[in-house]
Amino acid sequence: MKQLKLGLPKGSLEKATIELFEKAGWLIKPKSRNYFPEIDDPELACSICRPQEMSRYVESGMLDAGITGKDWTLENGSDAVFVSELVYSKVSRKPTRWIIAVKGDSDITCIEDLQGKKISTELVNVSKRFFAERNIDVEIEFSWGATEAKVVSGLVDAIVEVTETESTIRAHGLRIIHELMESNTQFIANKDAWDDPWKREKIKNIALMLQGSLNAERIVGLKMNVPENKLNDIMELLPSLNAPTVATLYNTDWFSVETVVATDVVRDLIPALTNGGAEGIIEYHLSKVI
Amino acid sequence: MKQLKLGLPKGSLEKATIELFEKAGWLIKPKSRNYFPEIDDPELACSICRPQEMSRYVESGMLDAGITGKDWTLENGSDAVFVSELVYSKVSRKPTRWIIAVKGDSDITCIEDLQGKKISTELVNVSKRFFAERNIDVEIEFSWGATEAKVVSGLVDAIVEVTETESTIRAHGLRIIHELMESNTQFIANKDAWDDPWKREKIKNIALMLQGSLNAERIVGLKMNVPENKLNDIMELLPSLNAPTVATLYNTDWFSVETVVATDVVRDLIPALTNGGAEGIIEYHLSKVI
Amino acid sequence: MKQLKLGLPKGSLEKATIELFEKAGWLIKPKSRNYFPEIDDPELACSICRPQEMSRYVESGMLDAGITGKDWTLENGSDAVFVSELVYSKVSRKPTRWIIAVKGDSDITCIEDLQGKKISTELVNVSKRFFAERNIDVEIEFSWGATEAKVVSGLVDAIVEVTETESTIRAHGLRIIHELMESNTQFIANKDAWDDPWKREKIKNIALMLQGSLNAERIVGLKMNVPENKLNDIMELLPSLNAPTVATLYNTDWFSVETVVATDVVRDLIPALTNGGAEGIIEYHLSKVI
Amino acid sequence: MKQLKLGLPKGSLEKATIELFEKAGWLIKPKSRNYFPEIDDPELACSICRPQEMSRYVESGMLDAGITGKDWTLENGSDAVFVSELVYSKVSRKPTRWIIAVKGDSDITCIEDLQGKKISTELVNVSKRFFAERNIDVEIEFSWGATEAKVVSGLVDAIVEVTETESTIRAHGLRIIHELMESNTQFIANKDAWDDPWKREKIKNIALMLQGSLNAERIVGLKMNVPENKLNDIMELLPSLNAPTVATLYNTDWFSVETVVATDVVRDLIPALTNGGAEGIIEYHLSKVI
Amino acid sequence: MKQLKLGLPKGSLEKATIELFEKAGWLIKPKSRNYFPEIDDPELACSICRPQEMSRYVESGMLDAGITGKDWTLENGSDAVFVSELVYSKVSRKPTRWIIAVKGDSDITCIEDLQGKKISTELVNVSKRFFAERNIDVEIEFSWGATEAKVVSGLVDAIVEVTETESTIRAHGLRIIHELMESNTQFIANKDAWDDPWKREKIKNIALMLQGSLNAERIVGLKMNVPENKLNDIMELLPSLNAPTVATLYNTDWFSVETVVATDVVRDLIPALTNGGAEGIIEYHLSKVI
Amino acid sequence: MKQLKLGLPKGSLEKATIELFEKAGWLIKPKSRNYFPEIDDPELACSICRPQEMSRYVESGMLDAGITGKDWTLENGSDAVFVSELVYSKVSRKPTRWIIAVKGDSDITCIEDLQGKKISTELVNVSKRFFAERNIDVEIEFSWGATEAKVVSGLVDAIVEVTETESTIRAHGLRIIHELMESNTQFIANKDAWDDPWKREKIKNIALMLQGSLNAERIVGLKMNVPENKLNDIMELLPSLNAPTVATLYNTDWFSVETVVATDVVRDLIPALTNGGAEGIIEYHLSKVI
């Protein structure tokens, strides 16, 4: 049987990824102290890998596809097919950012001031490239973690560090002087796998279902009844995310209007619809939106 | 920017209120040890207040609107606009009741027997008014709480106390001799705010979304297919909460019938619909019903 | 008022049964240290019974209906009406199985090898009948539990034991040599109750709602828009669980297609529908499917 | 190597027994879904057994010793050596009691009234013997559990049931008319094992350590300084659990007095000692008292 | 039988108080939704009261003794016997403080600046007295809680509020301009009860045991062996909390020295003792120190 | 004021280290999202560092002392003073081991078979040195983690990995062919700090208190009374961990004997002492043993 080798990220995204696959339709059962979880699809074989190493395995063909951060794919300089971006994380929906930070009371205010300075980071290659492209000569050191502490201790002059909400940065009194790059979670594929029609189809189907499940977290279904003379007005109020479904109702001059809308507009839209003459408005949760 | 000052009740209703707003479409983030939580709507500014004091701040204009108990608005004698009633609470859906209770073995059996007696309560003004209107002369004392214990200890002859399920009353062996008033949670507004068109609109929209979310807790969606010759019978079985939506089905003489019904009639309605000839019945949860 | 006496199983199924009834529309409140829980339907009186004894009480009329395992009804040889099978349990959706197991290194490989041997089981009568029908002479002993340990200790030669996932069997290094029977949870009724029209109606309605709730755990709703020229192709892709509901859309040559499908086909079906030309596909959870 | 086969009770006492052994100096590690836990003493081999069956295995020599209830040893009529009583349980320190109970409004008030009646119990043999000895003719039926419900339902006239705090009895409105027997947890041994000097020594050492750990739960150490002229008075105040240890102090006419006392007398003893002239009183926890 | 009526504080101190009594030797079992918990001493009858009301009940004789804050006794102006101070609380061991706070950017910097201003507080009488004694004319308003928010909202100019760690004060950006008083938990008694010898004895014994338990939280036992020629040096190192107990050892010229020391000096004391020639030093926990 | 800069290990040992310091007498309060926790000793300044980097900071003088694994000090080739070994960890008390493992079915059976092979590890330098010293030519690759998976996937031929209980090794079906080194937690110091008398004294005192607390986890206090004629026999039974403390008792020919013994001999020692004539034996927990 044909089988796709799929890499899942170990660490902070592991649980969220397994939950996302469950919503998408695949049940993954982690095995205690084992990096090869079971999945209820004989066409898939899963491995749990460090995000830092994922792109290398996808590039080399050890894995056909994998989920990892854009940052680590760049760090490794890996040559892989970008399939889709997956916006999910523990704390917020913002992309994570790699920033350059210095001590709060440092004289350094821009990246040019870093000339001749010492910088600590987990993202050594990307950082080196960044400064080289700008002809700023810096010494860059690999950090095993707890990187913020190093600039506080005076061990280094600046750090290149990842942050989502800036709370660790703030908790150490650091100041951000530059944003190096944004990163997000990506679904990537091996080039040969992408050229294999069966594998490409499988990868695209997985991407479709993952994306459909993620969409459903921020979109709800709305249904309402609208009299004929107000139909046009109501239709204009509805956001054009998808075209609404309009059906005539039996034995009346009313219409049933159904649509999907983003959760964050509902609180303004429903009052407008009510004012516009819609009746019997109901909102319901969705589990997938394609 | 225009902004509405909104008061949320501190204490037993605090968590339920924040959850209700989340369902309604507003995310409120409590801040540790701070009474001014964040809300994801720049048109709103929230404060957490004691329900006992809420109506005073709404009356004075410190707040434009607030959520509090009807009991405390009466206790304060505050002049505010009643916007809507919100039926939610921790334990049950019954209104809370302020009752008059005496020791289980007391000779007192009706409020007239309280003539000349001592009564302890947190609701001093309402209680005084209640007995004054009935020309019963009693001594009323403010209680900081644990009020039931006072009548057990013999410290007072009766108490005016709030209860939802009567379990604390029963646990102390007390006997209820009268119900003073029912109370419920209310959304109230300041008079000037109500006269300001922008603020009134904002208040009404919030009320609409809160109510729509509360409705959805007890109502579900039903959908079924019905052959033409049974349509009338089925329509008669459906409760008239909202008019059902009837659509003709393509290339058949069947109809699709959709409606919303109260959760507590479903277990009797579905068997009746089945017997009446409906097929393919599905039930689904709703998140708002307007 | 007429009342149906309903038995619920104590032990491993108790919590799951109460949750199933809640989904079906009946709220059951267990009372602390009491086997007669409250239920919010005056037409029902509930008792919690050991599954081992349930069928005897149903047979004798102490209960009008009850939920228990097929195995214990057979063990008791009770004469009761089979109403419906209810597939639910804690670990998996597979039926439980009563199997015959021996030590991993035993010489016994088939049931004939058990001639003259000693067997321990909780299911004494069914086991005796099984071996008698096959003319195999064995000594069968009642076990209070921890039965696997007995064959490990050498106390008996084989056991007849129930298993769902075989994990306890495996943890003791036992080998299964035969499957005696499959069992599942059943809704059974007393014969006289079944002949009483009111009681039969009530029992059937409960069975309908329980089954409708169980169905909804593995079925989702799908809705999509389909252009006229692709309607036939899309219809052929849809599984024939229930006939899809097709409605014409207002002022277009598109159709709205709604259907319910098993959760485990969704991940393959949605990509196929997308390829087939369906648009605006949404998936939503169901709470009952009749 | 010599090895003692030790049975531990499955069920409500299992966790408490493992904790008691840990205090006594043996670490028992339960294995998931396996009745043969590891123990950190190569001279011991543990099995988890149902208390109902323990005494039979001890009698037959399958186990050398075991911990079980006195009630089940009597029920089985097993011939085993009584080693020691172990007073520990989840709820209280009282012995459990097997009692005879009837409906709260029953006419039955004494055991003689049970003549000709039907009784349900898990303890069939002991109950039969009890009534036979008193020449009361009753019908006794085995119950799988939920026994209290049977007398409420009218299925039987009385039950013989075990209770520690009577709360389940009370929750069903039953009335106790007689106490059949008290039971407690016992450490019992096989007769041949007891005659083997090595095994008897091992069993006695385990019993000594278990008892020493149980003692320490209700006894604390007290130490104080006492001047010579008050020594006699203080010595008379001290309970005679163990003789106090009195040592002269260097270069003074004071004595150091140490003793162990039951926790429940400490709150009265310490004030008395203070009044009697003791100084520098300290209390400390003990982990074993032999 | 004689019985002492004892009041325990409801609210934030309730759990800590019950735990303290358990350490002291009395087991208090709260009853669900009842203010009269059980206690395992027939000479005591407990009531749970609001700390705000405790001193009034003790003064009036409704209670013989009670545990409450010094602040509320002063607020009520109650005449009661001070028995002992009990230093325990949830967060720290510091006394709580009632402070006067204003907005962070307020012009008010000292209490004199409050002349003519509005102040909100739960501690109305103490506050009024405080300002009257200093001839500062202020308007003082009762607050039901959430007091910090009032000065932030501009509703009042200052607040008199209780704080232990100042974290709520800081979270609202308030500035403390004065400390009104320190408060601590106190054990107080009714005057007549104190004059009754049996009651006074009982109260004093409870106070002794509570204090002995609290002492033990910050004191440990130390024991060591010391050669004769170093005994004097070691004795000088030991803090003079209690006189150490020195005993000669059998057949040697060493001494055994035992003492109790505060936990917070141990980390410096033990190295000093080691340097001074003490050997075999052991430290052990104490459960009471009188 | 003089201050010692102390490094604590981030990660799996972090919590255990903070708990150990609390037992030793220092309260460390981690700050949310900050690597510089508070400590209640003004002479100490703490930093949380990755164990992998600790020895470099100690060597460079950024830290005066730190707690880290011997393995990482070797990996970094850092020159630091070894102060003491600290045996504590989450799962067991065994040292962790760095082992070389291959696939279960690999042909590789000894380290010589690794000639020309590819090896993945987090401990690159130590591994390179190991193979170079043995003239075995291997390719060694840095691994970010999940190392076991790499040999399973066939990405590398062997791994050098750390293990305490071998459970992850076993869960991947790997086979250990060699042990590279044992490692344990160490307290290390900077050379200059060690030459500074104040810092050396502070470091030694901390080491003394940490070790005293760790000792107390496996040692208990025993106290007993012994008659004169049995004293010698009893003394010979006592392990010679520390010399027992023997005191004569007042007015008798008995002696009080106190000593400390390892927890794992107690279950054999107490029966022997009882047989030897000791009476009134008590065992108590210790919190420090120096």
Q: Domain coordinates of chain A in residue numbers?
A: 4-91+185-216, 96-182, 219-285
In which band, very low, low, confident or very high, does the pLDDT at B93 lie, cut at 50, 70 and 90? low
- D221 to F284: CB separation less than 8 angstroms, yes or no: yes
| Other beta carbons within 10 Å of D198 | 12
pLDDT at C66 over 60: yes
The pLDDT tens digits of the residues spanning B214-250 come to 999 999 999 999 999 999 999 999 986 667 888 888 8
F35 touches chain A (CB under 8 A): yes
Adjacency order of strands within the sheet including C254-262:
A288-289, C279-285, C219-227, C254-262, C245-248
Alpha carbon of residue A21 to chain centroid:
14
pLDDT at residue E272, rounded to an integer: 96
Mean pLDDT of D255-260: 92
Residue with tokens 């929230």: B46
- E34 to B144: CB separation less than 8 angstroms, yes or no: no
Closest residue to E286, CB basis, from D225, D249, D282: D282
Distance CA C162, CA C122 (A): 9
pLDDT at residue E95, rounded to an integer: 83
Mutate to test the interface with D, among F167, F250, F286 (most CBs of D within 10 A): F250
DSSP secondary structure letter of residue F113: G
C266 touches chain A (CB under 8 A): yes
pLDDT at B90 over 70: no
- C chain contacts of residue A204, beta-carbon cutoff 8 Å: 271
Closest residue to A290, CB basis, from C248, C256, C274: C274
The pLDDT tens digits of the residues spanning C101-128 come to 999 999 999 999 999 999 999 999 999 9
Mean pLDDT for chain C overall: 94
- F chain contacts of residue D283, beta-carbon cutoff 8 Å: none
Q: How many residues does chain F have?
A: 290
Distance CA F272, CA C19 (A): 57
Pick the CATH number of D4-91+185-216 from 2.60.120.310, 3.40.190.10, 3.90.550.10, 1.10.1060.10: 3.40.190.10
In which band, very low, low, confident or very high, does the pLDDT at F241 lie, cut at 50, 70 and 90? low
- F289 to E267: CB separation less than 8 angstroms, yes or no: no
F246 touches chain E (CB under 8 A): yes
On whether the CB atoms of residues A65 and A186 are closer than 8 A, the answer is no
Mean pLDDT of E117-135: 97
pLDDT at B277 over 60: yes
Closest residue to B146, CB basis, from E50, E62, E153: E50
How many residue contacts between A and C have a Cβ separation below 8 Å? Answer: 72
Neighbour subunits, C (≥3 Cβ pairs < 8 A) = A, B, D
The pLDDT tens digits of the residues spanning E258-276 come to 999 999 999 999 999 999 9
Q: Which two tokens stand for residue E64?
A: 């013989």
The pLDDT tens digits of the residues spanning D79-88 come to 999 999 998 7
Distance CA D158, CA C22 (A): 34
Mutate to test the interface with E, among B48, B144, B161, B166 (most CBs of E within 10 A): B144
A245 touches chain C (CB under 8 A): yes
Neighbour subunits, D (≥3 Cβ pairs < 8 A) = C, E, F
The pLDDT tens digits of the residues spanning F76-86 come to 999 999 999 99
In which band, very low, low, confident or very high, does the pLDDT at C95 lie, cut at 50, 70 and 90? confident
In which band, very low, low, confident or very high, does the pLDDT at C239 lie, cut at 50, 70 and 90? confident
D92 touches chain E (CB under 8 A): no
D256 touches chain E (CB under 8 A): yes
- D280 to E260: CB separation less than 8 angstroms, yes or no: yes
D-contacting residues in E 178-207 (Cβ below 8 Å): 204-205
Mean pLDDT for chain F overall: 93
- D chain contacts of residue C62, beta-carbon cutoff 8 Å: 153, 155
Closest residue to A25, CB basis, from C248, C266, C281: C266
Helix (H, G, I), strand (E, B) or coil at F18: helix
Residue A186's beta-bridge partner residues?
Answer: A68, A85
- B243 to A250: CB separation less than 8 angstroms, yes or no: no
Q: Do domains C96-182 and C219-285 have the same CATH topology?
A: no
Q: D and B: touch, per 3+ CB pairs < 8 A?
A: no
- A chain contacts of residue F50, beta-carbon cutoff 8 Å: 144-146
pLDDT at residue E87, rounded to an integer: 86
Q: Which of A94, F282, E64, E172 is nearest to D242 (CA)?
A: F282
On whether the CB atoms of residues E227 and E277 are closer than 8 A, the answer is yes
- D chain contacts of residue C48, beta-carbon cutoff 8 Å: 146, 149
pLDDT at E12 over 90: no
**Smallest CA–CA separation between D251 and chain F, in Å?**
15
In which band, very low, low, confident or very high, does the pLDDT at F93 lie, cut at 50, 70 and 90? low
Q: Which of F269, C239, E25, B198 is nearest to D268 (CA)?
A: E25
Q: Domain A96-182: what homologous superfamily?
A: Periplasmic binding protein-like II (3.40.190.10)
Q: Which residue of E has its CA nearest to B122?
A: E144
F253 touches chain D (CB under 8 A): no
In which band, very low, low, confident or very high, does the pLDDT at C12 lie, cut at 50, 70 and 90? confident
In which band, very low, low, confident or very high, does the pLDDT at E251 lie, cut at 50, 70 and 90? confident
Q: Which residue of C has its CA nearest to B282?
A: C289
Q: Give the range among A122-126, B188-192, D159-163, F11-15 with minimum mean pLDDT.
A: F11-15
F101 touches chain E (CB under 8 A): no
pLDDT at residue B32, rounded to an integer: 84
Distance CA A203, CA A6 (A): 9
**Smallest CA–CA separation between A107 and chain F, in Å?**
22
In which band, very low, low, confident or very high, does the pLDDT at C160 lie, cut at 50, 70 and 90? very high
pLDDT at residue D33, rounded to an integer: 86
DSSP secondary structure letter of residue F218: S
- D270 to E204: CB separation less than 8 angstroms, yes or no: no
**Smallest CA–CA separation between E36 and chain B, in Å?**
8
Q: E and C: touch, per 3+ CB pairs < 8 A?
A: no
pLDDT at C179 over 80: yes
**Smallest CA–CA separation between E275 and chain B, in Å?**
48
The pLDDT tens digits of the residues spanning E50-87 come to 999 999 999 999 999 999 999 999 999 999 999 999 98
- E chain contacts of residue F25, beta-carbon cutoff 8 Å: 263-264, 266-267
- A281 to B260: CB separation less than 8 angstroms, yes or no: no
Helix (H, G, I), strand (E, B) or coil at F197: helix
pLDDT at residue F240, rounded to an integer: 67
Mean pLDDT for chain D overall: 93
Q: Which two tokens stand for residue C232?
A: 């036939």
- B chain contacts of residue E62, beta-carbon cutoff 8 Å: 153, 155
The pLDDT tens digits of the residues spanning F246-289 come to 888 888 889 999 999 999 999 999 999 999 999 999 999 999 99
Q: Which residue of B has its CA nearest to C24?
A: B267
Element (H, E) at E44: strand E44-49
A-contacting residues in F 142-171 (Cβ below 8 Å): 143-146, 148-149, 152-153, 155, 167-168, 171
Helix (H, G, I), strand (E, B) or coil at B111: helix
Q: Annotate A40-58 with DSSP letters as a single string.
A: S-TTEEEEEE-HHHHHHHH
Pick the CATH number of F219-285 from 3.40.30.10, 1.20.58.1610, 3.30.70.120, 3.30.499.10: 3.30.70.120
Mean pLDDT of B17-23: 95
- C chain contacts of residue D144, beta-carbon cutoff 8 Å: 50, 52-53
pLDDT at residue B240, rounded to an integer: 67
Mean pLDDT of C168-196: 96
- F chain contacts of residue E260, beta-carbon cutoff 8 Å: none
Percent pLDDT > 90 in chain F is: 84
Closest residue to F249, CB basis, from D26, D247, D284: D247
The pLDDT tens digits of the residues spanning F32-43 come to 888 999 999 999
Q: Annotate D106-159 with DSSP letters as a single string.
A: -S--SGGGGTT-EEEES-HHHHHHHHHHTT---EEEE--S-HHHHHHHTSSSEE
How many residue contacts between A and F have a Cβ separation below 8 Å? Answer: 68
The pLDDT tens digits of the residues spanning D213-248 come to 999 999 999 999 999 999 999 999 998 666 788 888
**Smallest CA–CA separation between D149 and chain C, in Å?**
6
pLDDT at B72 over 80: yes
In which band, very low, low, confident or very high, does the pLDDT at D89 lie, cut at 50, 70 and 90? low
Instruction: Kindly report each contact of residues B72-76 with a partner whose C-beta sits within 8 Å and lies 24 or more positions away, as own/partner.
Output: B73/B186, B73/B188, B74/B125, B74/B126, B74/B181, B75/B123, B75/B124, B75/B125, B75/B126, B76/B52, B76/B125
Distance CA E65, CA E200 (A): 10
Name, in order, each residue with C-beta under 8 angstroms of E23's C-beta and a sequence gap of 6 or more: E213, E216, E287, E288
Mean pLDDT of C135-155: 94
Regions of chain A with pLDDT less than 70: 89-93, 240-242
For residue E98, give Cα distances in angstroms to A81, E176, E183. Answer: 65, 10, 8
pLDDT at residue E149, rounded to an integer: 93
- E34 to B167: CB separation less than 8 angstroms, yes or no: no
pLDDT at residue C262, rounded to an integer: 94
The pLDDT tens digits of the residues spanning E207-247 come to 999 999 999 999 999 999 999 999 999 999 998 666 788 88
Mean pLDDT for chain E overall: 93
Buried b (16+ CB within 10 A) or exposed e, E105-139: ebebeebebbeebbbbbbbbebbeebbeeeeeebe
The pLDDT tens digits of the residues spanning D47-66 come to 999 999 999 999 999 999 99
For residue C206, give Cα distances in angstroms to C13, C21, C70, E35. Answer: 18, 9, 19, 43
Q: A and F: touch, per 3+ CB pairs < 8 A?
A: yes
**Strand C279-285 relative to strand C288-289, pairing:** unpaired
- 0.95 exceeded by the pTM? no
Alpha carbon of residue F39 to chain centroid:
22
Mean pLDDT of E26-46: 94
Q: Which residue of A has its CA nearest to C247?
A: A247
